[in-house]
Amino acid sequence: MTSIETLTLEVADTTAAARFYTAFGLDAHVRLRASDAETTGFRGFALALTVSQPAVVDHYVAAAVDAGATVLKPAAKSFWGYGGVVRAPDGTICKIATSARKNTAPAEPRIDEFVLLLGATDVAESKRFYVEQGLVVAKSFGRKYVEFAAPSSPVKLALYGRRALAKDVGVPEEGTGSHRIALAGAARAFSDPDGFAWEAVEPAHSA
Protein backbone atom coordinates (compact mmCIF):
# COMPACT_ATOMS: atom_id res chain seq x y z
CA MET A 1 0.00 0.00 0.00
CA THR A 2 1.28 3.47 -0.88
CA SER A 3 1.95 5.63 2.19
CA ILE A 4 4.28 8.44 3.17
CA GLU A 5 7.65 7.09 4.28
CA THR A 6 9.41 10.45 4.22
CA LEU A 7 8.31 14.07 3.91
CA THR A 8 10.93 16.44 2.51
CA LEU A 9 10.67 20.22 2.69
CA GLU A 10 12.59 22.13 0.04
CA VAL A 11 14.17 25.21 1.59
CA ALA A 12 16.56 27.98 0.59
CA ASP A 13 18.82 27.52 3.63
CA THR A 14 19.04 23.98 5.00
CA THR A 15 21.21 24.98 7.97
CA ALA A 16 18.78 27.64 9.17
CA ALA A 17 15.81 25.36 8.54
CA ALA A 18 17.44 22.52 10.49
CA ARG A 19 17.92 24.84 13.47
CA PHE A 20 14.27 25.88 13.31
CA TYR A 21 12.75 22.39 13.04
CA THR A 22 15.02 21.08 15.80
CA ALA A 23 13.98 23.92 18.12
CA PHE A 24 10.33 23.46 17.11
CA GLY A 25 10.49 19.72 17.77
CA LEU A 26 9.79 18.49 14.23
CA ASP A 27 13.29 17.39 13.25
CA ALA A 28 12.31 13.72 13.57
CA HIS A 29 9.30 14.19 11.28
CA VAL A 30 10.67 16.10 8.29
CA ARG A 31 13.67 15.99 6.00
CA LEU A 32 15.22 19.00 4.33
CA ARG A 33 16.93 19.66 1.02
CA ALA A 34 18.09 22.80 -0.72
CA SER A 35 15.95 24.39 -3.42
CA ASP A 36 15.73 27.77 -5.10
CA ALA A 37 12.54 26.94 -7.02
CA GLU A 38 10.30 29.96 -7.38
CA THR A 39 7.23 30.04 -5.16
CA THR A 40 4.83 32.79 -4.14
CA GLY A 41 1.83 32.90 -1.81
CA PHE A 42 0.07 29.82 -0.47
CA ARG A 43 1.92 26.62 -1.34
CA GLY A 44 -1.20 24.50 -1.04
CA PHE A 45 -0.34 22.44 2.03
CA ALA A 46 0.02 22.60 5.79
CA LEU A 47 1.53 20.38 8.46
CA ALA A 48 -1.03 19.58 11.16
CA LEU A 49 0.15 18.57 14.62
CA THR A 50 -2.40 17.08 17.00
CA VAL A 51 -1.46 17.22 20.68
CA SER A 52 -3.10 16.29 23.99
CA GLN A 53 -4.20 19.59 25.54
CA PRO A 54 -4.07 23.41 25.28
CA ALA A 55 -0.86 23.75 27.31
CA VAL A 56 0.95 21.57 24.78
CA VAL A 57 -0.38 23.70 21.92
CA ASP A 58 0.99 26.76 23.71
CA HIS A 59 4.35 25.03 24.14
CA TYR A 60 4.75 24.30 20.43
CA VAL A 61 3.52 27.72 19.32
CA ALA A 62 5.95 29.43 21.71
CA ALA A 63 8.82 27.17 20.59
CA ALA A 64 8.10 27.99 16.95
CA VAL A 65 7.93 31.75 17.58
CA ASP A 66 11.12 31.69 19.65
CA ALA A 67 12.82 29.94 16.72
CA GLY A 68 11.68 32.57 14.22
CA ALA A 69 8.17 31.59 13.11
CA THR A 70 5.40 34.09 12.38
CA VAL A 71 1.99 33.66 14.00
CA LEU A 72 -0.81 33.41 11.43
CA LYS A 73 -3.51 32.58 13.98
CA PRO A 74 -2.86 33.01 17.71
CA ALA A 75 -3.68 29.96 19.83
CA ALA A 76 -7.30 30.24 20.96
CA LYS A 77 -10.40 28.26 21.83
CA SER A 78 -12.88 27.35 19.11
CA PHE A 79 -15.94 25.15 18.76
CA TRP A 80 -13.70 22.15 17.96
CA GLY A 81 -11.09 22.64 20.69
CA TYR A 82 -7.98 24.81 20.92
CA GLY A 83 -5.28 25.60 18.39
CA GLY A 84 -3.05 28.05 16.56
CA VAL A 85 -1.19 28.40 13.26
CA VAL A 86 2.38 29.52 12.57
CA ARG A 87 4.51 29.98 9.47
CA ALA A 88 8.10 28.77 9.62
CA PRO A 89 10.92 31.01 8.35
CA ASP A 90 11.13 28.84 5.20
CA GLY A 91 7.42 29.46 4.49
CA THR A 92 5.95 26.15 5.64
CA ILE A 93 2.64 26.52 7.48
CA CYS A 94 2.10 24.49 10.67
CA LYS A 95 -1.17 24.06 12.53
CA ILE A 96 -1.04 22.89 16.15
CA ALA A 97 -4.32 21.81 17.72
CA THR A 98 -6.10 19.69 20.30
CA SER A 99 -9.72 18.65 20.70
CA ALA A 100 -9.40 19.19 24.47
CA ARG A 101 -10.66 22.49 25.83
CA LYS A 102 -8.97 22.27 29.24
CA ASN A 103 -5.66 21.10 30.63
CA THR A 104 -5.99 17.90 32.63
CA ALA A 105 -2.34 17.06 33.37
CA PRO A 106 1.13 18.63 33.36
CA ALA A 107 2.12 19.62 29.82
CA GLU A 108 4.21 16.95 28.11
CA PRO A 109 5.57 18.12 24.74
CA ARG A 110 4.59 15.28 22.44
CA ILE A 111 2.99 15.12 19.00
CA ASP A 112 0.19 12.56 19.07
CA GLU A 113 -0.59 12.73 15.36
CA PHE A 114 1.23 14.28 12.42
CA VAL A 115 -0.86 14.93 9.30
CA LEU A 116 0.07 16.41 5.94
CA LEU A 117 -2.92 18.42 4.71
CA LEU A 118 -2.93 18.86 0.93
CA GLY A 119 -5.16 21.57 -0.51
CA ALA A 120 -6.96 19.96 -3.43
CA THR A 121 -8.69 21.87 -6.21
CA ASP A 122 -11.17 18.98 -6.45
CA VAL A 123 -11.17 16.74 -3.36
CA ALA A 124 -13.25 14.01 -5.03
CA GLU A 125 -10.93 13.83 -8.04
CA SER A 126 -7.83 13.71 -5.85
CA LYS A 127 -9.44 11.05 -3.66
CA ARG A 128 -10.04 8.85 -6.71
CA PHE A 129 -6.48 9.43 -7.87
CA TYR A 130 -4.94 8.40 -4.56
CA VAL A 131 -7.16 5.34 -4.26
CA GLU A 132 -5.89 4.30 -7.69
CA GLN A 133 -2.34 4.65 -6.34
CA GLY A 134 -3.14 2.16 -3.58
CA LEU A 135 -4.07 4.38 -0.63
CA VAL A 136 -6.98 3.27 1.57
CA VAL A 137 -9.57 5.80 2.72
CA ALA A 138 -9.95 5.96 6.51
CA LYS A 139 -12.33 8.94 6.74
CA SER A 140 -14.31 10.77 4.08
CA PHE A 141 -16.66 13.74 4.30
CA GLY A 142 -17.87 14.17 0.73
CA ARG A 143 -15.96 16.79 -1.21
CA LYS A 144 -14.73 18.53 1.94
CA TYR A 145 -12.19 16.26 3.61
CA VAL A 146 -10.57 12.87 3.09
CA GLU A 147 -8.06 11.12 5.35
CA PHE A 148 -6.12 8.04 4.30
CA ALA A 149 -5.07 5.12 6.47
CA ALA A 150 -1.41 5.05 7.49
CA PRO A 151 -0.89 1.95 9.64
CA SER A 152 2.90 1.92 9.29
CA SER A 153 3.65 5.54 8.42
CA PRO A 154 4.63 8.31 10.86
CA VAL A 155 2.78 10.79 8.63
CA LYS A 156 -0.91 10.66 7.73
CA LEU A 157 -2.12 12.10 4.44
CA ALA A 158 -5.34 14.09 4.21
CA LEU A 159 -7.06 16.10 1.49
CA TYR A 160 -8.81 19.40 2.16
CA GLY A 161 -10.31 21.82 -0.34
CA ARG A 162 -7.62 24.35 -1.23
CA ARG A 163 -9.79 27.37 -0.45
CA ALA A 164 -11.01 25.85 2.83
CA LEU A 165 -7.47 24.96 3.88
CA ALA A 166 -6.18 28.46 3.14
CA LYS A 167 -9.02 29.93 5.20
CA ASP A 168 -8.37 27.47 8.02
CA VAL A 169 -4.71 28.49 8.32
CA GLY A 170 -5.35 32.19 7.83
CA VAL A 171 -3.83 32.98 4.42
CA PRO A 172 -5.16 33.96 0.96
CA GLU A 173 -5.60 30.94 -1.30
CA GLU A 174 -3.62 32.42 -4.20
CA GLY A 175 -0.18 31.00 -4.85
CA THR A 176 2.08 30.11 -7.77
CA GLY A 177 5.23 28.14 -8.45
CA SER A 178 6.71 25.21 -6.57
CA HIS A 179 4.94 23.55 -3.64
CA ARG A 180 8.42 23.17 -2.07
CA ILE A 181 7.59 19.70 -0.72
CA ALA A 182 8.31 16.15 -1.89
CA LEU A 183 6.84 12.89 -0.63
CA ALA A 184 8.38 9.43 -0.81
CA GLY A 185 6.67 6.10 -0.32
CA ALA A 186 5.42 5.03 -3.74
CA ALA A 187 6.63 2.18 -5.92
CA ARG A 188 6.96 4.65 -8.80
CA ALA A 189 7.27 8.40 -9.10
CA PHE A 190 4.13 10.40 -9.87
CA SER A 191 2.45 13.76 -9.36
CA ASP A 192 -1.12 14.14 -8.11
CA PRO A 193 -3.78 16.31 -9.83
CA ASP A 194 -2.53 19.40 -7.96
CA GLY A 195 1.12 18.83 -8.79
CA PHE A 196 2.32 17.39 -5.48
CA ALA A 197 5.26 15.15 -6.31
CA TRP A 198 5.83 11.63 -4.99
CA GLU A 199 9.23 10.02 -5.38
CA ALA A 200 9.78 6.29 -5.76
CA VAL A 201 11.24 4.27 -2.91
CA GLU A 202 13.43 1.30 -3.69
CA PRO A 203 12.02 -1.90 -2.17
CA ALA A 204 14.09 -3.44 0.60
CA HIS A 205 15.98 -6.58 -0.39
CA SER A 206 16.74 -9.32 2.07
CA ALA A 207 20.34 -10.49 2.30
Domains, the chain? 40-178 (3.10.180.10)
Helix (H, G, I), strand (E, B) or coil at 3: coil
Closest CA to 125 of 193, 33, 29: 193
Give this prediction's pTM: 0.94
DSSP 8-state secondary structure symbol assigned to residue 122: S
Angle of helix 54-66 versus helix 14-24 axis, rounded to 10? 150
Q: Which residues pair with 33 in a beta bridge?
A: 10
pLDDT tens digits in sequence order for the chain, 207 residues long = 578 989 999 999 999 999 999 999 999 999 999 999 999 999 999 999 999 999 999 999 999 999 999 999 999 999 889 999 999 999 999 999 999 999 998 989 999 999 999 999 999 999 999 999 999 999 999 889 999 998 888 899 999 999 999 999 999 999 999 999 999 987 889 999 999 999 987 655 444
Q: In whole angstroms, what is the distance from residue 16 CA to residue 114 CA?
A: 22
